[in-house]
Amino acid sequence: MRHPDQPESRRVTQPSVPSLAAGLAALTAAAALALAGVAPAAAASRSRSPSRLLAQVDKAVQKAGSMTFSDRSTSGKVVETYSGAASGSAAAESLTSTGAAPLQVVLSGGTIYLRSGSTVLESALGLSATAATAEAGKWIALQTGDAPYESLAGQLTVASELNAYIPASHLRIGKVVTVAKQRVIPVYGYPSASAANGATAGSAALFLSTKSPYLPVAGSLVLAKAGADERKEVAVFTHWGKPFTVTVPTGAVPYASLAG
């Protein structure tokens, strides 16, 4: 999920924020080629249909069912780092953003646990200023039927993290490159309307394993809008299909006792 203002999974090795920062320029530069209409096409890739390849990737992602990820975005002076693990029934995610309180979210057993600062609790959960201030820094538990539940649950999925990087039109397959120490096949294009979020120009790139079933290794998104700072975002995806566990917070306050 993204920070409304602007718990730990299985012990797996996730890409570090510094490694993402180092790869940001290379990934966004590659994605920008699509925006300029000059994404290179390797001879070995010309016979592939990018839409068919992405359809195959979609099936592989659904079959895998789970992954871990590390995501970093920059827009002007604002830097966001977002990491965690997600599957169809569980998630453990953490988000930090310049000038905002950290946000932690856990999904386990159908219950969503959220912890953050008062401003986030007001915007994400709709709490009053008084309640948000009192519960800042504490775990809050949400159940199905609680007003914010469906919106939050929709952001705690594999698809919600991956979809922003899947190009929606003007698809091109680029030459094989190295990303996150892996050889990958880039698929470049324009971002979906939801990923663009009002941007007037943009590019998206999904970097796929060179081996079938071509699961995503990384993604890049570049968005531009008149009068606003350019947004650059990069993510690395790992541990596809690997089971993970989450630590369920204790002593969480029921959302129902705070709402209204």
- 166-202 pLDDT, tens digit per residue, is 999 999 999 999 987 889 999 999 999 988 888 888 9
> 26: pLDDT confidence band, cut at 50, 70 and 90?
low
| Nearest-angstrom CA–CA distance, 130 and 133 | 5
Q: Is the pLDDT of residue 78 over 50?
A: yes
Average pLDDT over residues 95-108: 94
Question: Residue 40's pLDDT is what?
Answer: 45
- 132-171: string of b/e by CB count within 10 Å (b at 16+)? beebbeebbbbeeebebbeebbebbbbebbbbbbbbbeeb
E strands along the chain, which residues? 67-75, 78-86, 91-97, 103-108, 111-115, 140-142, 169-173, 177-179, 182-190, 201-209, 216-224, 231-238, 253-254
Fold annotation for 17-257:
outer membrane lipoprotein receptor (LolB), chain A (2.50.20)
pLDDT, tens digit (0-9, with 9 covering 90-100), for 132-165: 999 999 999 999 999 999 999 999 999 999 999 9
Average pLDDT over residues 236-246: 94
Taking the C-alpha atoms of 208, 19, 81 and 224 in order, what is their torsion angle to the nearest 10 degrees? Answer: -60
The DSSP code for 231 is: E
Residue of 120 and 30 predicted with greater confidence: 120
Tell me the pTM: 0.82
Residue of 213 and 26 predicted with greater confidence: 213
Question: Closest Cα partner for 108 from 125, 94, 89, 127?
Answer: 89
* 103 touches 83 (CB < 8 A): no
Please identify which residue in the block is written with the tokens 């953050």.
Answer: 116
Q: Is the pLDDT of residue 5 over 60?
A: no
